[in-house]
Structure 1
Amino acid sequence: MFAIGESDFLLDGKPFRILSGALHYFRVHPDSWADRIEKARSMGLNTIETYVPWNAHSPRPGEFGTEGMLDLERFLRCIADAGMYAIVRPGPYICAEWDNGGLPAWLFQGSGVGVRRYEKQFMAAVTEYLEHVLRIVQPLQVDQGGPVLLVQVENEYGAFGDDPTYLKALVEVIRGAGITVPLVTVDQPVDEMLAAGGLDGVLRTGSFGSRVAERLETLRTHQPSGPLMCMEFWDGWFDHWGGRHHTTGVDEAAAELDALLAAGASVNIYMVHGGTNFGLTSGANDKGVYRPTITSYDYDAPLDEAGHPTAKYYAFREVISRYAPVPAVPAQRPAFSAPEQQVALGSPIRLLANPDAWGVWSQHESMPSLEDVDARLALFRTSIDVDGGPALLTVGEVRDRATVFLDGDPVGVLDRERHDQAIMLPRGRGRLELVVEDQGRVNYGARIGEAKGLVGPIRLGSEPLTSWSACAIDLDGVPRLWESGGTDSRPGVGPVAWRAFFEADESVDHFLHTDAWGKGIAWINGFCLGRYWRRGPQQTLFVPGPVVRAGGNELVVLELDVIAEPVARFGPGLALGPIEL
C-alpha cells in the first residue's frame, strides 16, 4: 500500500523516500532496458520514472500501438524485475523535447479542437488515449503487487494554462480507469505556475535544478502538508541544432542533489539516462526564433547516450549513499571502444530523377500542409509561366525548411529559423519544385499543435500559385528504394538516397560519424537512427547494439543537401560537440 502522509510518502505504513531517475522507454532500444534500469539501481535509485508519448503510440486516429520500443507493460515489468518502483507520467502533454510535446498532429486537423483545455473534441480524444494507457498501468500498481507508485496529472500545466475544470476532468478519467495510487502534478516553483497547475487533493511537486532551499520553500507554501518532491531535478539540458552541447558541472549538480536530499525531499532525477530521439521524434522550441532539437538526448545525464556511467554517475551515487543504502558495486564504464571502420557510400538514387518511386502523388488547387498529405517530407510541384527575367517567389511562412528547384536545378533554401519568406528565381518559366521538410514540431508554449509545411499565400510576383502536385515521401520506404532499381551515378543536390554495407563481428554499439555529411536521416538495417546535420553540435548518431547484426549490415542515408565525400565512418565513441561557441 502506498499513500501520502502528513510529511512523508508511506509504503506499507512506513516512511518512504522516493529516489527516482527518469528513463524513457521510447528513447532506448527495448533490449537495453534491463541494462539501463540495473545501472540506475546501482547508482542508489529505488524508482524509475517515465513519460508516455501519445503521438508515438497513436500515429493515427483509433490506433494505439505497444510493439517494440512502445511496449510500456514490458518496460514496467523490467522495472519490477529489478526490484524497483515506477512513476508513470502519461500527460496527455509531456513536453520532453519530444515532437509536439507528445500530442498527435492529427488531433488538430479538425476545426475548433482545443489544446490542453476542457473542450469536447480534445477531451474525447484524451479520454480514449488515457484509457488505453491506464489499462496497462492499472494491474501494475503497487497495491496490486506491481511497481507503480504514482501517476501524474498533465505536465507543468501552470506554464501553459489556467483551466481547473480541465485538470479535474483528467483526474476523473484517471480515477475512473481504476488508478488508486496517489496522483501528483508538477510545476516550476513559481507562485503563479503552482497555483494554476495544481489541484487540491492532488500532491503538488516541483521541477528545478538549482536554488533548492528557495524552491522547496515556494513549493511548501502551495503544498502545506505532505512530502516535498522535486519531480524533475534537472541535472543537464538538451541541445538545439546550431548550438553548443550543454553540460552541467559535476560538483555543482551533486551539491544541489545533496541539498535536496538533506532537506528530506524525494527526487526524480531528470534524466538518469536520456537516450536518443530515434526516427523523427525530436521536438523544437520557438520563442521568436525556431530552434529544432537534435537527435541525441544525452542530456549530460549520469548515464550517457550509450548508457555508460559518467563522472556525474559516481558523484550522484556518493551523495545518495549519505542518505540511503546503495549497492555494494556500482556500474562500470566498459574498457573497450566501439568498432572503427570506413566504408564507401554508393548506388545513389535522386528524388527528382524518379519521385514516383519515393511516395504517393495527390493533386491540390492550393498548397496543402504536410499534415494534409500525411508526410514529414514532401515534394510539391507546379508550372510557372511569367514573362520577363528573374521572378520573386514569396511564401507566407515556412515550417520548417524548403529547398527550391527550377527545372531540376537547385535555386536555394527557405529556412524558418532565418524567417525566410522570399527567394529570387532566375526566370519565371519552368517546372517549380519545392522539397519541404518538417524539422520537428514545437513542444513548448503557444505554438503546440500548429500545422507544418508552407503556410499562407505562395506567390510569384503578385500572382498566387495554384494547381499543385504533392508527393508525400514514404520515409519508411527509403531503405527499400533499391528494390526497384534506377540508381543515378551523378546525383547532384539532394534529396539523394545512398547506401553502404559493412561487417560487424558481433551485435555491439556503433557510433556513426556524420560531421562530413550535409543534412539528412540515416537507417541501419531498416532502423531509423534519426536526423543528422553538419551544423552540429552532435557529430555522431548512436547505433544500439541490438540493431547491428553479427555479419553483414546495411546503412542507408537520405541526404537532403550535399555529401562532399560519399564515405561512412564509424568511430570509437560519442561525439556530441563543443560545450562553448
Structure 2
Amino acid sequence: MPEFSIGEHDFLLDGRPFRVLSGALHYFRVHPDQWADRIDKARRMGLNTVETYVAWNAHAPGPGAFDLTGGLDLGRFLRLVAEAGMYAIVRPGPYICAEWDNGGLPAWLLRDPAVGVRRAEPRYLAAVRDYLDRVYSVVAPLQVRHGGPVILVQVENEYGAFGSDKTYLEALAEHARAAGITVPLTTVDQAVDGMLAAGGLDGLHRTASFGSRAAERLAALRRHQPTGPLMCAEFWVGWFDHWGAHHHTTPVAEAAAELDALLAAGASVNVYVFHGGTNFGFTSGANDKGVYQPTVTSYDYDAPLDEAGRPTAKYHAFREVIARYHDVPGEPPPPAPPAPAFGVPLGDAVPLLDAPGRWSAGVRHDALPSLDEVAGAPRLALFTTRVDVDGPAVLCFGEVRDHASVFLDGQPVGTLRREHRQRALGLRRAVGELAVLVEDHGRVNYGPRLGEPKGLVGGATLGGVALTGWEVRPVDAPPAPWGDAEPVPAGGPVAGPVLLRARFSPPEPADLHLDTRGWGRGVVWVNGFCLGRYWSRGPQRTLYVPGPVLRAGGDEIAVLELDAMTDPTARFVPGPLLGHTEA
C-alpha cells in the first residue's frame, strides 16, 4: 500500500515528490446527498485532495453521545473522496474555529468552570481523548497505507493565537499516534513569528495560514522550519460575514495571482475554503473582540464554489492557474441554470405568547436560569414570571447573551442586545405576566470567550428585588404539525413572535433560494429541516434550500418570525442574494 511521508523538500508519496493541492470542504455544512457532487467539482478544478474539519459539538450534542450517521457520517465522506481518486486531510481539532458555534467545542463540556480550555488540564484532556478515539476509529483505517485517502492529520488549530502549552500539544500528538494515526501530523498557525513559535511543536510539520503576500509568509514559515515542504494550509480566498455588516468578497484576479505565487514557490496549498456551504440550524458562531458580532447563516465565503455548489469566476481562474503547474482533468462543470422562481402566501399564524404550550411544556425554575441550565440548552426560549410593582421600576439582568425581547401581558416593552451592552429597561408599571424571549445568536468561536454561558446570565431584578418563580419553554423547534388543512393566508403584516406556514410544490426538482425580503428576524424550517436564521439587518437576504430536503408530492415551510413581518409571503428567487459589499 502507498506510504505518505515528509522529505527534505517535498511531501513524498511512495518516495516520489507530491504537491498537495487541496480544498476545504466541511461535510457538516453540506447536505450529505450533495457530497459527491462537491468532491467531483474539486477534482475538476485541478485539486488532488479534500480537507475537512471535524466539529466535535455536532457529533456529540451531549455527554456520552457520538453521532456518525447521515450528515455526520465522516467515514462515508472520506470514502467518497477516495472514490473520486482524491486524497484527504482531516483536522479534528478538538478546537476548529471555522466560524462554527463555540469553535467546535461542546458547550456541555465547559459548563464546569474548573474544566480547562485548550490546555493540559486533566478533565479537559480526558474528554478530548475520548472524542479523538471516536474520530480516529474512523480515520485510522482510512489512512493511505491501508488503501484509504487520508494523508495528513492536523493537531489542534492555530494554537499560537490562543496559547503556548507544549504539554497540551504533546498530549494530543501522542494520543494520535497511540490511536493508530501513522500519517504525518501537522500544525497550522498564522504566518507570524510569535504564533508559529507558540503553536508549533518539534516533530510535527508546521504549516501556515494566510491569504496574501505569499513570499513573505512562506519566508516566515521557513524561519521556523528549515527543511520539509512549504504549505499554506489555509489559503484564505474570501471571508465570512457578520449580521449588520457587509458581504465580503475578494477580487478574483488578486486571489488567482496569490495562488500563482504560492505554486510558483513550489508550495503545497489548501484553499480555504473551496466550498463553504451553510451554517444550517443554529450552528453559526460569533466573534467578540470588544463587540459581539454573530456570523450569518451563509458560509459562502466568496469561495470558488458558491453556497449552492455552483462554480464562480474564482473557480475558473483558479483552474487556469493550477493548469500551469499540473494536469487538470476533464472539463469544468457547466453553468448551473437559475433556480425556480415562485411564491406562496404564509398563513395559519400561531402567536407564541398566546399559545406557548404548542411549543413545549414549561419547566419551573425558582432562580432565573441561563440557557445552558435549561434542559437541552435551547437556542431560543421563553421565560415567564408574574410581577407586581405598581409604579415605575427598572428591569435589570446581569448580562444578556445575546438578544432579549421583553413583553408585559403580551405587549412589547423593549429589546436588549448584547452588542449594545444593554441589560436594563425602564417600566412605567410592572403588574402582570412578564415574558422574555431569549435568543442565542451563536457562541464565540475565537479567543478567550470560548465556552461562556448563554442566555440571561447573572439573574434578574425588578426595582432592585430579585425576580423568582420562572417558567421556561424552549422554542427552537417548530410545534406539532397543524394538520392536513390548507393554510389560510395571513393577508397582511404580522407581528411576532409568531409561527406561520405554507405548503408549496416547486415547478421542478432543484435547489431553492428563499428570499426573506419583508421579514424581520427569525428561523425557517422546510420539511422539518432547519435552514437557519434570517435577519433584516443583513447583509444576507436569501436562505439556501438544498434540493435533497424537498420531497415529491409537496413541501411545507414553517417560519418563526420573532419581530415583525410586513410581507408574509415565501418567495423563491433564481439565485442567492448575500448583500452589499464594500465596493
**What TM-score, normalized to structure 2?**
0.97
Q: What amino acid is the match of 2:352?
A: L
Q: How does 1:478-557 map to 2 (within 5 A)?
A: 478=478, 480-482=480-482, 493-557=495-559
Partner of 1:571: 573
Q: How far does residue 152 in structure 1 lie from its aligned partner after superposition?
A: 0.2
Matching residue's letter, 2:348: S
Structure 1: tracts of 5 or more residues without a match: none
Any residues of structure 2 matched to 1:391-410 within 5 Å, and which? 391-410=393-412
CA–CA separation in structure 2 for the residues paired with 1:64 and 1:38 = 29
Match of 2:240 among 235, 238, 241: 238
Superposed displacement of residue 505, structure 1: 3.7
- Higher mean Cα deviation, 239-248 or 489-498? 489-498
Partner Cα distance (2:484, 2:429) in 1: 35
Question: Aligned equivalents of 1:215 and 1:166: distance in 2?
Answer: 26
Q: Deviations over 1:528-571 (max 9, x none)?
A: 11110011111100111111123311111111111112111000
Alignment partner for residue 453 of structure 2, among 451, 454, 458? Answer: 451
Residue number among 264, 267, 271 corresponding to 1:265 in the alignment: 267
C-alpha deviations, 1:484-529, integer Å up to 9, x for none?
9999979963221110011124331011001210101111111111
* Equivalent residue, structure 1, for 2:295: 293
1:379 aligns with 2:382: yes
- 1 CA distance for matches of 2:580 and 2:493? 32
Aligned mates of 2:171, 2:225 — CA distance in 1: 21
| 1:421 Cα deviation from its structure 2 partner | 1.5
Structure 1 position 2, deviation (Å): 0.2
Question: 1:398-435 CA distances to partner (integer Å, 9 max, x unpaired)?
Answer: 10000000011111110111111211223122111100
One-letter amino acid matched to 1:466 = T
Alpha-carbon shift at residue 149 of structure 1 (Å): 0.3
- Aligned residue for 2:575, secondary structure, equals coil
> Within the alignment, does 1:20 sit opposite 2:46 as a pair?
no
Correspondence for 1:438 among 437, 440, 446: 440
Alignment-mate amino acid for residue 297 of structure 2: T
Contact 1:504 1:550 in 2 (8 A): no
Deviation at 1:439, TM superposition (A): 0.5
Letter in 2 for 1:540: T
When residues 98 and 155 of structure 1 are mapped into structure 2, their CA distance, relative to the original with a 3 A threshold, is same
How far apart are the structure 2 equivalents of 1:274 and 1:393?
42
**Counterpart Cα distance in 2 of 1:175 and 1:415:** 46
Q: Select between 38-47 and 543-552 the one with higher mean Cα deviation.
A: 543-552
* Structure-2 separation of matches of 1:61 and 1:483: 35
Pairwise mapping of residues 158-557 of structure 1 onto structure 2 (< 5 A)?
158-334=160-336, 336-373=337-374, 374-388=377-391, 390-473=392-475, 475-476=476-477, 478=478, 480-482=480-482, 493-557=495-559
Q: Is the 8 A contact 1:518 1:560 kept in 2?
A: yes
Letter in structure 2 aligned against 1:225: T
Shift of 1:479: 5.4
Q: Distance in 1 between matches of 2:304 and 2:570?
A: 30
Residue 488 and residue 32 in structure 1: after superposition, are their counterparts in 2 closer, same or farther (change >3 A)?
A: closer
Letter in 1 for 2:512: H
C-alpha spacing 1:114/1:284, structure 2 compared with 1 (3 Å): same
The 3 A distance-change label for structure 1 pair 232 and 329 is same
Residue by residue, what CA displacement relative to the aligned partner does 1:165-189 show, whole Å, maximum 9, x if unpaired? 1110001111111100000000001
Contact 1:87/1:149 (CA < 8 Å) preserved in 2?
yes
Deviation of residue 292 (structure 1)?
A: 0.4
Cα distance in 2 for partners of 1:484, 1:413 equals 36
Give SS of 1:6's match. coil
- Contact in 2 for aligned 1:350/1:488 (Cα 8 Å): no
| In 2, Cα distance between equivalents of 1:375 and 1:100 | 15
Between stretches 480-489 and 280-289, larger displacement belongs to 480-489
Q: CA deviation at 1:361?
A: 1.9
Aligned to 1:156: 158
- Aligned to 1:231, the other structure's residue is in SS state strand
Secondary structure, aligned partner of 1:396: strand
Q: How far is 1:238 from its partner?
A: 0.2
SS in 2 for 1:50: strand
In the alignment, the residues of structure 2 paired with residue 372 and residue 139 of structure 1 have an alpha-carbon distance, to the nearest angstrom, of: 39
Question: Where in structure 2 are there 5+ consecutive unaligned residues?
Answer: none
- Deviation for aligned residue 1:480: 2.5
1:219-239: CA deviations, max 9, x gaps?
Answer: 001111111000000000000
Maintained 8 Å contact 2:358/2:479:
no
Residue type of the partner of 1:387?
Answer: D
Q: Which residue of 1 aligns with 2:55?
A: 53
In structure 2, distance between residues paired with 1:19 and 1:51? 17
CA separation in 1, counterparts of 2:335 and 2:529? 26
Q: Which residue of 2 aligns with 1:560?
A: 562
Report the more deviating stretch, 102-111 or 142-151.
Answer: 102-111
| In structure 2, C-alpha distance between the alignment counterparts of 1:96 and 1:104, rounded to whole Å | 14
| CA shift for structure 1 position 331 | 1.7
In 2, the alpha carbon distance for the partners of 1:328 and 1:471 equals 54
The CA deviation string for residues 36-63 of structure 1, in whole angstroms up to 9 with x for no partner, is: 1111111100000000000000000100
Residue 363 of structure 1 aligns with an amino acid whose one-letter code is R
Shift, 1:457, TM fit: 3.8
What's the % identity of the aligned pairs?
66
Residue identity opposite 2:387 in structure 1: I
Query: How many pairs align?
Result: 577
Aligned AA (1:138): A
Q: Secondary structure at the match of 2:8?
A: coil
Q: Tell me the SS of whatever aligns to 2:499.
A: strand
Q: What secondary structure is seen at the aligned counterpart in 2 of 1:352?
A: coil
The letter of the residue matching 1:223 is Q
Q: Secondary structure at the match of 1:347?
A: strand
Using the size of structure 1 for normalisation, the TM-score is: 0.97
2:511 and 2:544 in contact (8 A); partners too? yes
CA distance in 2, matches of 1:472, 1:296: 25
* Counterpart-to-counterpart distance in 1, 2:480 and 2:237: 41
* Aligned equivalents of 1:542, 1:469: Cα separation in 2: 35
What letter corresponds to residue 470 of structure 1 in structure 2?
V
Query: Corresponding residue for 1:40?
Result: 42
Residue 353 of structure 2 aligns to a residue in which SS? helix
SS across alignment from 1:210? coil
Deviates more, 1:515-524 or 1:149-158: 515-524
Q: Cα gap change, 1:510/1:487 in structure 2, threshold over 3 Å: closer, same or farther?
A: closer
